[in-house]
Structure 1
Amino acid sequence: MAREHVLGGTAEAVVQTGPGVFTRMVFDVPHIGDDEALVAVEACGICGTDAETFTGGIPLQYPVIPGHEPVGRITAIGDRAAARWRVQVGDRVVLQSDIGCGRCVGCIRGDLCVVDPGTLGFIPTTRAPSLWGGYSEVLYLPPGAMPHRIADHVPARTAALYNALGAGFAWAVEAPGLRYGDSVAVLGSGQRGLASVVAARAAGASFIAVTGLGSRDAHKLALAADLGADLVIDVEQDDVVERVRGATDGEGVDVVVDTTPHATTPVLDALRLARQGGTVVLGGLKGRGNGVPGFPVDDVAMRRLRIVGVRAVDYRSFRNAVRLLERAPTFLERMHTHHFSLDAAAEAVRTLTDPSAGAIAITIEPGN
């Protein structure tokens, strides 16, 4: 038998009704079935995807409640859902953004649904029960949701780093098959870049280099060093290939992870940084239809380089992120720089993309 949501009959949420337009709305909180749950949202992380959807760079089917990185507490849950997810009322959880039918092979394996795929923060409010995004007081969990319980001692703002850290493990560890003692270069020192440094260090990398723009990213490069990078490179001052090859006796690194958005030059740098037989992971989107001028196809073939594209975060990487947050919340909380109330959601998104703000990880907090 499903237990009732304890917060009341309605929930407030921020709804995007068009590019750059956020509106505060009130929704009825649904009664749930045995395979469903409700979460009281404490914090919702934001990333570059939120900025792209806000401006219309990534199209949405309006109206929609954004937010795909929510942290909150279970306030109502059906018995079958509680048994399947191994959570109960009062547990704090973080959510994988991809959801599905809960019954197909993909859902059972923790992969993408092959029957009814969806993504938190991208489902229109016209689809019942409307509460599909993290910019809301309450979030609905369908049977195909994938919550991960996270310990109470991790502050909600810090717990909201789970998605970025999950990407770090997915991109810097799982995708390239990082082995203990491997060397790594991370291009870009934003959320995903810093998370890749953290994940690579946790996985036993012997050497980690990270790049950034000194005029904009000096504080991020300093934090990267604190988080485990052995070499930080200001690409406005130094040649990244010379610095990395100089630090690796001219050999290059085993794994290169490009997290930089839009710019295509880092892709060419990544190929030059990798040792023969090394792996290049491409995680930073460059814009639909944008190619890489001068891409050295023959060099890739002759040097037997492996190129891996990444986007989503797998179940194991989420679990590794949660475990790391539970072990070292104080160490990781320095990645969080700003928090905003639900009413200030638009300001939060603008702050993320404002170079003068120095933002790394930002949360929107409905209860703030």
Structure 2
Amino acid sequence: MPEIGPADLLLEVVLCGVDGSELAMFSGHHEYLNARVPVIFGDEIVGRVVAVGASAAERRGLVLGDRVVVEARWPCEEGCHTCQQGQYYLCERRGLQNGYGTLSAGNPPHLWGGYASHVFVPPEALVYRVPDVLSDRTALIACSPLANGLRWVREAGVRKATHVVVIGPGPQGLSCALAAVALGRCVTLVGLETDVERLRTAETMGAATYVTSRTDTPDLLQHAADEIVAAHGPVDAVIEVSGSPGGKDLAMCVVRALGTIVSVASPNPSVRPFDWRTLMWKEITVKGRISHPNTVSEAFGLARRLAAEGIDVGEWVTHVFPLDKVPEAIRTAAYKSAARPIKVALDPMA
């Protein structure tokens, strides 16, 4: 265990989410990460304070035993351009890939990821106390997927009662749909036939759903777009979270002229060229967005309000594994087993 300085924290990990980026990391698809091994995965972290420095306790208002979540990235002390703009996930000093789940465990004090029993928290990290009324699983969904959803829906820039299509019904897509409904938008969540349980979950939250096929020929994409518009009206904005080439193409096809696409997941850039002509002919605004700066506290508030209305997002955590079952957890999250989870998590204390 590391020594804890006056401004530091040490967390015992209660729950850590398994997210999509870690599926690619585990397969060795990110060369930057391969060069940093050993690396402890995990940037969706719910923990309990087991050691706290005196100044950290005073500044953060924390005591031993408090449940907290910690963000994957944090602002730099120098106040670079992106941190001044509030997007510390793109910090020009620290870099996009320096934080929990990506820092080398060779860097002291070594505990830089949630796939572990403990996590070190430096003074500059962003920590939020979990409200007592939220369970560990609810806090896990709120601190990252739901926080993402709130930001990405707002980035779509559409007014209340306008139509938003979310493509991809994983935890991120469900969170976007739920956030859009909570913010007063009409929502259609698009998934595949294998996503039927997730789509049913979205329907209980007030979203409409649409099942598309894996075949993404131009005719089928246009047919899907026409059906979505016919059922629920012109599409003012699309949040594309599937990261598939077909999802990107459907977004360009279904959004109306002068509409907005928020793209938050990317396929291999060599798969297919970008449709610049449609972008111009429809005057579409395309926004690339990553993560959830400054929205965790709001997401906790939304999770509390939803719980009071009978919607517990913690129920999305359908599969939990101990640390010695990480490969099985990742295979399950990647749909490489018979299970069809919504959200997979690790419980290091199990």
Residue 65 of structure 2 is matched in structure 1 by: 90
Root-mean-square deviation (Å): 2.2
Shift of residue 305, structure 1, vs aligned partner: 1.1
**Residues 170-190 of structure 1 deviation map (CA, whole Å, 9 limit, x = unaligned):** 2222x2224322210011111
TM-score, normalising length: structure 1: 0.83
* 1:307 is aligned to 2:279: no
Distance 1:335 1:196, change over 3 A: same
Match of 2:13, SS? Answer: strand
Give matches, 1:158-197, under 5 Å: 158-161=138-141, 162-173=143-154, 175-197=155-177
Shift of residue 110, structure 1, vs aligned partner: 5.1
Q: Distance in 2 between matches of 1:236 and 1:359?
A: 20
Q: Distance in 1 between matches of 2:294 and 2:174?
A: 20
Q: Is the 8 A contact 2:137 2:315 kept in 1?
A: no
Shift of residue 52, structure 1, vs aligned partner: 0.9
For structure 1, list consecutive stretches of 5 or more residues without a partner in the other structure: 1-28
Residue 340 of structure 1 is matched in structure 2 by: 321
* 1:362 is aligned to 2:344: yes
* 1:241 is aligned to 2:222: no
Distance 1:83 1:273, change over 3 A: farther
Give matches, 1:1-368, under 5 Å: 29-59=1-31, 60=33, 61-99=36-74, 101-102=76-77, 104=79, 111-112=87-88, 113-117=91-95, 118-161=98-141, 162-173=143-154, 175-205=155-185, 207-214=186-193, 216-230=194-208, 232-236=209-213, 239-249=223-233, 252-261=234-243, 263-287=244-268, 289-290=269-270, 292-293=272-273, 295-316=274-295, 318-329=296-307, 330-354=311-335, 356-368=338-350
Match of 2:30, SS? Answer: coil
Match of 1:311, SS? Answer: coil
Shift of residue 158, structure 1, vs aligned partner: 2.3
Q: Distance in 2 between matches of 1:86 and 1:178?
A: 37
Q: Distance in 1 between matches of 2:304 and 2:86?
A: 22
What is the percent sequence identity of the aligned residues?
Answer: 29
Distance 1:342 1:73, change over 3 A: same
Q: Is the 8 A contact 2:138 2:312 kept in 1?
A: no
Q: Distance in 2 between matches of 1:108 and 1:148?
A: 21
Match of 2:153, SS? Answer: helix
Distance 1:167 1:45, change over 3 A: same
For structure 2, list consecutive stretches of 5 or more residues without a partner in the other structure: 215-219
Q: Is the 8 A contact 2:163 2:187 kept in 1?
A: yes
**Residues 177-213 of structure 1 deviation map (CA, whole Å, 9 limit, x = unaligned):** 24322210011111111111011111111x1111111
Shift of residue 83, structure 1, vs aligned partner: 4.1
Q: Distance in 2 between matches of 1:187 and 1:246?
A: 17
Match of 2:315, SS? Answer: helix
Q: Distance in 2 between matches of 1:90 and 1:313?
A: 26
Q: Is the 8 A contact 2:7 2:123 kept in 1?
A: yes
Q: Distance in 1 between matches of 2:172 and 2:178?
A: 10
Shift of residue 157, structure 1, vs aligned partner: 2.0
Match of 1:119, SS? Answer: coil
Match of 1:74, SS? Answer: strand
1:44 corresponds to which letter in structure 2? C
Shift of residue 139, structure 1, vs aligned partner: 0.6
Q: Is the 8 A contact 1:65 1:136 kept in 2?
A: yes
Distance 1:68 1:138, change over 3 A: same
Q: Is the 8 A contact 2:240 2:264 kept in 1?
A: yes
2:27 corresponds to which letter in structure 1? T
Shift of residue 314, structure 1, vs aligned partner: 1.4
**Residues 148-173 of structure 1 deviation map (CA, whole Å, 9 limit, x = unaligned):** 11112212122111211122122222
Match of 1:99, SS? Answer: coil
Match of 2:156, SS? Answer: coil
Q: Distance in 1 between matches of 2:63 and 2:224?
A: 49
1:233 corresponds to which letter in structure 2? Y
Q: Distance in 2 between matches of 1:194 and 1:136?
A: 27
Q: Distance in 2 between matches of 1:109 and 1:38?
A: 29
TM-score, normalising length: structure 2: 0.87
Q: Distance in 2 between matches of 1:136 and 1:93?
A: 16
Q: Is the 8 A contact 1:85 1:146 kept in 2?
A: no
Shift of residue 55, structure 1, vs aligned partner: 0.9
Shift of residue 247, structure 1, vs aligned partner: 2.2
